Structure 1
Amino acid sequence: MSSSQAAAKGNQEDYKLKDTKPELGEKWPHGGQRGGSGWIYSERATSTYDMVEQMFYLYVRVVKAKDLPPNPVTSNVDPYVEVKVGNYKGKTRHFEKKTSPEWKQVFAFSKEKIQSSVVEVFVRDKEMVARDDYIGKVEFDMHEVPTRVPPDSPLAPQWYRLENSRGEARSRGEIMLAVWMGTQADEAFPEAWHSDSASVKGEGVYNIRSKVYVNPKLWYLRVNVIEAQDVEPNDKSQPPQVFVKGQVGQQVLKTKLCPTKTPNPMWNEDLVFVAAEPFEEKLVITVENKASPGKDEVVARISLPLNKFEIRLDHRAVHSHWYNLERFGFGVLEGDKRNETKFSSRIHLRVCLEGAYHVLDESTMYISDTRPTARQLWKQPIGILEVGILSAQGLQSMKKNNAKGSTDAYCVAKYGQKWVRTRTITESFNPKWNEQYTWEVYDPCTVITFGVFDNCHLGGGGGGQNQGAKVDSKIGKVRIRLSTLEMDRIYTNSYPLLVLKTSGLKKMGELQLAIRFTCLSMAHIIYLYGHPLLPKMHYLHPFTVNQLDSLRYQAMNIVAVRLGRAEPPLRKEVVEYMLDVDSHIWSMRRSKANFFRIVSLFSGAISMSRWLGEVQQWKNPVTTILVHVLFFILICYPELILPTFFLYMFLIGIWNFRFRPRHPPHMDTKLSWAEAAHPDELDEEFDTFPTSKAQDVIRMRYDRLRSVAGRIQTVVGDIATQGERFHALLSWRDPRATSLFMFFCLIVAVALYVTPFKVVASIAGIFWLRHPRFRSKLPSVPSNFFKRLPSHADGML
């Protein structure tokens, strides 16, 4: 074996999923699970916090002080508190000229890094020029600190008399403190200052905390533009040829030109926007006239608040309304009679808000939420997803800090409407988070996404040279489909973090996770496999491919803006990376990968044709004779054809049970053609859109090629997905789906054996030729079952 082959083999091993054996915490004695919207209880024994390794922390809660002695020189005091444990120091903010300040701040020191037996709490006076004055201190012996475990109530803070430097009690000055030993399950953990990030100063402290975010409530705003009356252009000598423009925030859509030049035009077109609660924008409808080929003039307009429109929860019709339009351009001068709003024309609209399905996920293969927006249509959860984000190993240096490489890593997880973000561990290539979160699961055929990022918004000493860029760098991403997980089994694996760059594929480290999918109702899960993946409105009023692309892009922008306004913000680059915003852009590498996915699907048919050719050529006489015997049996007893086929499928499923996947699927570098991509192809893939390459003509043609080829790439990928779902029927990638299909095959085999073939054929023919009134617009049970099957798309980079 050559050195290059050995290196390639080593890389393949490095890119694979690895088993880990973390020392997960035992059942911690508290009654609920941290994370999620409130406390969630399952049918298992009382919920546990056992998906992470226990990490012990020394907590110091600084509440307030009173009667602090003033500085004899300035006659006032600017107090702050410094908590010191060994080499670690944490400071509160300071107050100016206040003898009884209130801080209400918590400090957390990792027990494994504590090298001192004393906890010292200093109260100091902030000086602008000289060294800060010492007011007093309180000391605690580490061995005397009590241990507190939830659900015990929080430890009550107490007043302590300040001591001078000689250890004597001062005549004035007291501080209220609480000191205890706890774990990351403590309620104070998320908001505490952490010794792991002691180098972060100022406003950067707010950017290191763990947080839970919730997607804004998204709605479709469907505007059906029907007609208008009495449209008068500025030039009354020419009949108007008008169109309608609708605008919601930054979203602008237009109808087609009315084919006839008339003051009473008709369109009957739908304009669909994305809006988020609380509604901050208005719907602005503008009627414009095509005055000349290069000039459009505004004739009239109206602005409507979104909260006045009705919400459509089902397929029932929405009432239309006539709206009076305001003539555009009148009333320039105050006091002018023309300043009065006058009736000029009116427009006929049918407007409603639709909460049909989650637009962020629907147009991708990584659906994480199948629920409609309207909470009235939600069903009961079918399970609970518990995730322990343990640690990362071997992260690469992402920036320079004090002339040496450093990484300030945090992890983001997204499932359903909830995003979670761990705290940032500064200056560590092997960060340990050990944070546990919980989601309610409404559909097992959904995907949870994890992303690891480098925090570039720490300010002060934690920012490094990349501080000016103000963009959190992506380290890697992991996707896990819940249907590939066995019930109530804890998966502890180390996932390689792979990133494709212009220089090629690079492993940025490994992410260690613990995952458990708990089933609340197996009957409900089986019931879901026969029902549509998305809500009914998706099928009764479907969108075009172009509409879905536009709506998803607008929804991503809205979510990025809303989450960016949180504290700490979840930034736009993070949201885009987690939502695969560039998944539809043309890529030669992705096109090759999808093409070879299709080729691999036909490999089975090619092997079968070769086998039949060998049978025909009598290369194995015994096999050929057996095939002849089977052939004549089926000819003589045609009623055995279908039972034999389904029984054969059942036996294949039993045989494949031994080879079922033991781990959740992960990124496959060979499947993605990430390692074999040519540098020029990668340069094309990471080129900007529109292209930043050479001349204008080349740019136009290049963009057109990428746009068309991107659609072809998506179609090819969809075809490959359908074929892979056929293969998944008996491959045990989704254990529940394979079990259901095998049971169905066995039942059908028995039923077809005892039922005359003519009866079966007659029933099948009558069912297939049934009248349209007996048909439903909703997909059939087999179609719903098939669409829920997994494919190799989960392993695509």
Structure 2
Amino acid sequence: MTSWSRCNISMFVLSKQKIYLQKMLLVLVTLTLKLSLGTTRVQLGILRKKQIPEWNQVFAFSKERIQASMLEVTVKDKDFVKDDFIGRVLFDLNEVPKRVPPDSPLAPQWYRLEDRNGNKAKGELMLAVWMGTQADEAFPDAWHSDAATVSGADGLANIRSKVYLSPKLWYLRVNVIEAQDLMPGDKSRFPEVFVRAILGNQTLRTRISMSKTINPMWNEDLMFVAAEPFEEPLILSVEDRVAANKEEVLGRCAIPLQYVDRRLDHKPINSKWYNLEKHVIVEGEKKKEVKFASRIHMRICLEGGYHVLDESTHYSSDLRPTAKQLWKSSIGVLELGILSAQGLSPMKTKDGRATTDAYCVAKYGQKWVRTRTIIDSFTPKWNEQYTWEVYDPCTVISVGVFDNCHLHGGGDKAGGARDSRIGKVRIRLSTLETDRVYTHSYPLLVLHPSGVKKMGEIHLAVRFTCSSLLNMMHLYSHPLLPKMHYLHPLTVNQLESLRHQATQIVSMRLSRAEPPLRKEVVEYMLDVGSHMWSMRRSKANFLRIMGVLGGLIAVGKWFDQICNWKNPITTVLIHILFLILVLYPELILPTIFLYLFLIGVWYYRWRPRHPPHMDTRLSCADNAHPDELDEEFDTFPTSRPNDIVRMRYDRLRSIAGRIQTVVGDLATQGERLQSLLSWRDPRATALFVIFCLVAAIVLYVTPFQVVALITGFYVLRHPRFRHKLPSVPLNFFRRLPARTDCML
């Protein structure tokens, strides 16, 4: 087998095949024990009692660690006291040939070993040395000079780049219809029967049957999340509630999911009867007693027409249904180059000094990637490239940066150390121009109990290549989620519960990989806990609403200035435009769309040049109160003292009271509209009915253009014809009754 040594040289080349290519030195070694490149030395493994040893190892040296112009490969004989020198081979780095993938690999050749004086020594060494790039096929498996302090198989496995796949998730629908011939222990009472279903760590139960007989009925759906390969069966237990905290098991059955029907659409599947088994205790031993007379009637299927949500719908990276038969063809390719990071914050202390061992995790669709760990560097350089197939442009790729706390077995020694968060970046594909390479540095922001903190910057290269522009444009007319989400929608509570179960399954499966993608990393990438209450998020969402309404408010203020003749020239022009539109109503819609077109063209020159990233001001993280941050990072249930919980509860009641008032005001306005014709106020309704009759007659005999002109000129009248008191219609509306006087 071979060994590789590479040194990075800062050069950037863009091509249609790769987002970036960075030149480096590659050394192919078949027989050797030691590599020396300036002050960097690598000791290979020892093979005893072999005249022709081989080491299956791959090496890479970064440019920053090269402090010499010569590469020295030394062969020694291991001894207990002193290693005996056998020979060496020297290479001048200036004479190394260049090779750019996808060129064929450079063939290795034999080199005669030399002694320290430059004379020929006994033995030969097979080497191949050339300048290549990180796109070479052996680069992902290389030992890197950045990891020079890591030793052992576990350490190397923990720092190398890896690709992971999320498990294939299904929604499992269990429709519990009825049971037959149940035998409760106490036959003198009416049974209160329900069904408990267990799948792994998920437990759901039906309501207690309304028919309190030995043949109860439910017709209730229970939804679970199941992952391939199906390791655990679905266990159903029919139980009778005999007391407040006591249930009696009337029968059980276990159903392997491998044999469950799979449904791709909304058509119902056939229901089946399942025999219930009862376990009895005989002489201290648990024995199974099969009751063929007791059965349960159910309809069970794996739903392939839904997309199992394990991410928030606001930034989901995959929207395809579970069943592969329902997938559409891909519309393009996403290429991500994780280049480097700058100014990372120290995350831990090692040997009395601050350090950071950084690695990146990127998630899009079912594919997770993890870069190699750069040891002890605040400016790590990964230069790794990954690709994904894209099926929908309205998806988001997430890139997170973490500090590796599990080197040298650190996770075990530290009593369960967790990889620390350094920051995260989200990029929505629909904000990218096709076939354009974006190289941009994104700030890494993390919210701590002490406030928001910038942990550094990450440099990414992103390109979204579209295979068919027509197909991509056609997708904008399709529903965002698969059809089953609209034909048979799940409730909000169901979706939240199922998403929680899906994230737990994904984090558990990926943490069992080798090397593991740990639970804290997966949960951070999937934004677990983002639905929890946060004062900061509530403020941010309120400001977002005000920002959306800001345009309407600005238009209203502008129109108010027009009506009050703040700028007489503009008001006169509006009068002329209004007159033209009333006399020629067929120009109204073309004028509106023409204005929208002109506004869109006008804003084109201010279009974003880079994909958007985390915004501290939008998130209200730059001025959040410390107590609000402490509340956001509190556990659920709370772990704070009673006096703090009481203070926060009172504050929450105060805020909820204001929200309640606003919601009540909106409801009042709606109820006043309803009361116009409800005769709750007979005089008001009579006045409104008479007004409607008169208005119908006047509008019938008066041309529409005249009515529109009179109305418009009245609204745009000069301030000297206006009164400060509210208008008659507004006074009438405010006097209408609402249902507030009926509330307790």
TM-score, normalised by the number of residues in structure 2:
0.81
Contact 2:40/2:65 (<8 A) preserved: no
Unaligned 5+ segments in structure 2 are: 1-9, 664-703, 705-744
**Residue pair 2:101, 2:133 contacting (<8 A) in 1 also:** no
Specify the alignment match of 1:293 in structure 2: 244
Counterparts in 2 of 1:332 and 1:140: CA distance versus 1, 3 Å: farther
C-alpha contact (below 8 Å) 1:218/1:355 kept by paired residues? no
Is the partner of 2:194 in helix, strand or coil?
strand
* Alpha-carbon offset, residue 690 of structure 1: 1.1
Partner SS, residue 549 of structure 1: helix
Secondary structure of 2:208's counterpart equals coil
Specify the SS of the correspondent of 1:561: helix
SS in 1 for 2:315: coil
Cα distance, 1:705 vs structure 2: 6.7
Q: Secondary structure at the match of 2:140?
A: coil
Match of 1:568 among 515, 518, 537: 515
Q: Does 1:600 align with 2:547?
A: yes
- SS of equivalent residue, structure 2 residue 149: coil
Indicate if the aligned counterparts of 1:456 and 1:466 stay in contact, CA closer than 8 A. no
Which residue type is aligned with residue 402 of structure 2?
F
SS at match of 1:199: coil
Cα distance in 2, alignment partners of residues 395 and 586 from structure 1: 30
Distance change in 2, residues 1:333/1:493 (3 Å): same
Distance in structure 2 (CA, Å) of the matches to 1:586 and 1:397: 30
For residue 95 of structure 1, report the CA deviation from its aligned partner: 4.8
Deviations 1:43-94 (A, max 9, x none): xxxx512x235040333444x68xxxxxxxxxxxxxxx33332222223344
Q: Are 1:416 and 2:365 an aligned pair?
A: yes
The residue aligned with 1:538 is 485
2:469 alignment counterpart = 522
Give the C-alpha shift of residue 696 in structure 1: 11
Compute the displacement of 1:375 (Å). Answer: 1.5
Aligned equivalents of 1:270, 1:499: Cα separation in 2:
41
Distance in 2 between residues matched to 1:101 and 1:217, nearest whole Å: 44
Residue from 36, 48, 66 that aligns with 1:84: 36
| Structure 1 residue 201 corresponds to structure 2 residue 169 | no
Residue 262 of structure 1 and its aligned partner are, at CA, apart by 1.1
Question: How far is the alpha carbon of 1:416 from its aligned partner?
Answer: 1.2
What is the match of residue 73 of structure 1? none
Distance 1:698 1:683, change over 3 A: closer
Give ranges in structure 1 of 5+ residues lacking alignment. 1-21, 28-46, 66-80, 717-756, 758-797
Letter aligned with residue 188 of structure 1: A
1:225-374 maps to which residues of 2 (within 5 A)? 225-329=176-280, 341-343=290-292, 345-361=294-310, 363-374=312-323
1:677 corresponds in structure 2 to 624
Read off the aligned partner of 1:200 and give its amino acid letter.
V
Partner Cα distance (1:163, 1:633) in 2:
97
Does the CA-based 8 Å contact 1:502-1:683 persist in structure 2?
Answer: yes
Of 469, 477, 491 in structure 1, the residue corresponding to residue 424 of structure 2 is: 477
Of structures 1 and 2, the larger Rg is shown by 2
State which drifts further: 139-148 or 554-563: 139-148
CA distance in 2, matches of 1:268, 1:217: 28
The 8 Å contact of residues 138 and 160 in structure 1, kept in 2 or not, is answered as no
Q: Take 1:339 and 1:465, find their aligned partners in 2: how far apart are those partners?
A: 43
Deviations 1:387-430 (A, max 9, x none): 11111011110111111111111111111111111111111111
Let me know the Cα RMSD of the aligned residues.
Answer: 3.1
Residue deviations 1:424-448, cap 9 Å, x none?
1111111111111111111111111
Q: 2:17 aligns with which of 45, 48, 60?
A: 48
CA distance in 2, matches of 1:450, 1:703: 39
2:337 maps to which residue? 388
* Structure 2: distance between partners of 1:698 and 1:113: 54
Alpha-carbon contact 2:347-2:354 (below 8 Å) kept: yes
Deviations 1:299-334 (A, max 9, x none): 211111111012111222211111111112356677
**In 2: Cα distance, 1:576 partner to 1:109 partner:** 33
Amino acid at match of 1:418: K
Q: Distance in 2 between the 1:231 and 1:632 partners?
A: 80
Partner residue in 2 for 1:506: 453
Matches within 5 A, 1:55-74: 55-62=23-30
State the secondary structure of the residue aligned to 1:256.
coil
Paired with 1:502 and 1:576, the residues of 2 have a C-alpha distance of 19
The alignment partner of 2:359 has SS state of strand
Q: What residue in structure 2 maps to residue 655 of structure 1?
A: 602
Residues 392 and 431 of structure 1 are in contact (CA less than 8 Å); yes or no, is this contact kept in structure 2? yes
2:171 to 211, 220, 229: 220
Separation (CA, whole Å) in 2 of partners of 1:270 and 1:696: 43
Distance of aligned partners of 1:96 and 1:354 in 2 relative to their CA distance in 1, 3 Å threshold: farther
CA distance in 1, matches of 2:626, 2:421: 21
Deviation, structure 1 residue 374: 1.5
Letter in 2 for 1:499: V
Deviation of residue 266 (structure 1)? 0.9
| Partner SS state of residue 385, structure 1 | strand
Kept in 2: contact 1:58–1:110 (CA 8 A) = no
1:507-554 CA deviation, whole Å, 9 max, x = no partner?
Answer: 100111111112211111111111111111111121111111111111
Structure 1 SS opposite 2:398: strand
Q: Distance in 1 between matches of 2:651 and 2:290?
A: 47
Residue 107 of structure 1, CA deviation: 1.5
Instruction: Tell me the alpha carbon deviations over residues 327-364 of structure 1, each in whole angstroms, 9 at most, x when there is no partner.
Output: 12356677x9x656442511111111113344345643
* Alignment-derived partner of residue 25 in structure 1: 13
Match of residue 788 from structure 1: none
Structure 2 equivalent of residue 142 of structure 1: 92
Deviations 1:658-694, CA, capped at 9 Å, x for gaps: 2222221121211111111111111111111111012
1:614 positional shift: 1.9
Distance 1:167 1:288, change over 3 A: farther
Q: Could you tell me how far 1:621 is from its partner in structure 2?
A: 1.7
**Cα distance in 2, alignment partners of residues 697 and 167 from structure 1:** 77
Residues 1:362 and 1:245: Cα distance change in structure 2 (over 3 Å):
same
What secondary structure, in the 3-state scheme, does the structure 1 residue paired with 2:609 have?
Answer: coil
Secondary structure in 2 matching 1:212: strand
The question of whether the paired residues in 1 share the 8 Å contact of 2:275 and 2:291 is answered with no
The residue that corresponds to 1:426 in the other structure is: 375
Deviation sequence 1:17-42 (CA, Å, 0-9, x none) = xxxxx953243xxxxxxxxxxxxxxx
Name the structure 1 match of 2:502. 555
**Which amino acid is 2:595 matched to?**
Y
Q: In 1, distance between residues paired with 2:107 and 2:53?
A: 19
Distance 1:539 1:135, change over 3 A: farther
Paired residues, number: 648
Tell me the distance in 2 between the aligned counterparts of 1:26 and 1:632: 58
- The answer to which structure, 1 or 2, has the higher relative contact order (CA under 8 A, 6+ apart) is 1
AA in 1 matched with 2:191: P
Match of 2:717 in 1: none
Conserved? CA contact 2:311–2:526, under 8 Å: no
Q: C-alpha separation between the residues in 1 aligned to 2:183 and 2:381?
A: 69
CA distance in 1, matches of 2:101, 2:146: 23
Specify the alignment match of 1:585 in structure 2: 532
Distance 1:151 1:656, change over 3 A: closer
Q: Note the alpha carbon deviations across 1:732-775, whole angstroms, 9 max, x for none.
A: xxxxxxxxxxxxxxxxxxxxxxxxx9xxxxxxxxxxxxxxxxxx
Per the alignment, do residues 344 and 177 of structure 1 end up closer, same or farther by CA in structure 2, a change over 3 Å counting?
A: farther
Amino acid at match of 1:349: M
* SS of equivalent residue, structure 1 residue 615: helix
Structure 1 CA distance for aligned equivalents of residues 221 and 181 of structure 2: 22
Query: Structure 1 349/701 Cα, relative in aligned 2: closer, same or farther at 3 Å?
Result: farther
Judge conservation of contact 1:60–1:108 (CA < 8 Å) in 2.
Answer: no
Residue 561 of structure 2 aligns to a residue whose secondary structure is helix
Q: Secondary structure at the match of 1:329?
A: strand
Match of 1:34 in 2: none
Q: State the Cα distance separating 1:297 from its structure 2 match.
A: 2.0
CA distance in 1: counterparts of 2:128 and 2:11, whole angstroms: 30
